[in-house]
Amino acid sequence: MATDIICYKAGISVLSHICQYDTLEKPNYLDQASQKRINEFFAGRMLAQAILKQYFNETHSITSLQYKLPIWSDGIIGSISHSNDLVVVAISSHSKYLGIDLEYIVATSFSEESMQLILTQFEQELWQTGKIEHLSFCEYLTLIFSLKESLYKAVFPVAQSYIDFLEATVVEIDIKRQMVRLKFNQEIQQRYKLHFEYQGFWVFQQDHVITWVAK
């Protein structure tokens, strides 16, 4: 990851033992949430607050009791992702945009059922070339899914809207350098005044992948 981005990953259960979340004031939008969702929420916020204090000398709360998204200070941008028992947080004071995502490798049944909803025609053809070395199809699908999640998080402050998986495409992939170029289709790019293209990065760790889109 770029040197100007601070990133940490932690176990949600470990963080929940450090801080008893049921003693904290819950935002209104968590009133009906399950304990699992509450643990995920506070684990991400807790890790983010620790990074902000350690590296940016920021101590104000990023949690709003009314609004779901974190509230970052001017000049600071961050992104939070969680899956199963893991949470990952990335924060930067230099990036123009930043999105991070963590995903466990999907099962074969999911990849077969969801391929058409996630992969554009070009991405399907890219896999069929046989040039995606050292990745199974499940890993490839998870990677593309996660990269697009990171991309959507990175552009959400500008777009402020949901964008479909098939409206963005990985147009180039470098397996050795673990980098991709992503583009939105022209209609989406012009509607939200987005950049012409974005760079994405990834790292596989055991049974999951972490991706990020940043500049």
CATH number of residue 189's parent domain: 3.90.470.20
pLDDT at 1: 66
130 and 80 assigned to the same domain: no
Domain holding 89, by residue range, is 5-95
Count: domains in the chain: 2
Q: Which two tokens stand for residue 79?
A: 């992104």
pLDDT at 23: 58
SS3 of the chain: the string is: CCCCEEEEEEEHHHHHHHCCHHHCCCCHHHCCCCHHHHHHHHHHHHHHHHHHHHHHCCCCCCCCCCCCCCCCCCCCEEEEEEECCEEEEEEECCCCCEEEEEEECCCHHHHHHHHHHHCCHHHHHHHHCCCCCCCCHHHHHHHHHHHHHHHHHHHHHHHCCCCCHHHEEEEEEECCCCEEEEEECHHHHHHCCCCCCEEEEEEEECCEEEEEEEC
**Residue at a domain's end among 95, 115, 134:** 95
18 and 40 assigned to the same domain: yes
Task: Provide the 10 A C-beta neighbour count for residue 31.
Answer: 7
60 and 107 assigned to the same domain: no
pLDDT at 153: 97
9 and 87 assigned to the same domain: yes
What is the mean pLDDT of the segment spanning 43-53?
94
What backbone phi and psi angles, to 5 degrees, belong to 113? -75, -30
Its pTM surpasses 0.75? yes
- Please say if the pLDDT value at position 127 is more than 70: yes
51 and 148 assigned to the same domain: no
111 and 203 assigned to the same domain: yes
Burial of 84: CB neighbours in 10 Å, binned 0-12, 13-18, 19+: middle
Q: pLDDT: is 64 or 135 the higher one?
A: 135
pLDDT at 2: 58
**Residue at a domain's end among 95, 125, 150:** 95
AA letter at 163: I
What is the mean pLDDT of the segment spanning 113-127?
96
197 and 115 assigned to the same domain: yes
131 and 205 assigned to the same domain: yes
**Residue at a domain's end among 55, 74, 95:** 95
78 and 154 assigned to the same domain: no
**Average pLDDT score over the chain:** 93
Cα 208 to Cα 43, 70, 73, 107, 138: the distances in Å are 19, 25, 30, 12, 11
112 and 210 assigned to the same domain: yes
What is the mean pLDDT of the segment spanning 196-200?
97
Contact between 140 and 105 (Cβ < 8 Å): no
pLDDT digits (tens, 9 = 90+) for 155-191: 999 999 999 999 999 999 999 999 999 999 999 999 9
pLDDT digits (tens, 9 = 90+) for 13-45: 998 877 766 656 778 888 888 888 888 999 999
Instruction: Give the separation between CA 40 and CA 118, rounded to whole angstroms.
Output: 25
pLDDT at 20: 67
- Please say if the pLDDT value at position 133 is more than 90: no
10 and 81 assigned to the same domain: yes
Which residue reads 């074969």 in tokens?
108
Q: pLDDT: is 118 or 35 the higher one?
A: 118
198: closest CA among 135, 140, 153, 138? Answer: 153
pLDDT band of residue 54 (cuts 50, 70, 90) is: very high
90 and 127 assigned to the same domain: no
pLDDT at 29: 86
pLDDT at 4: 87
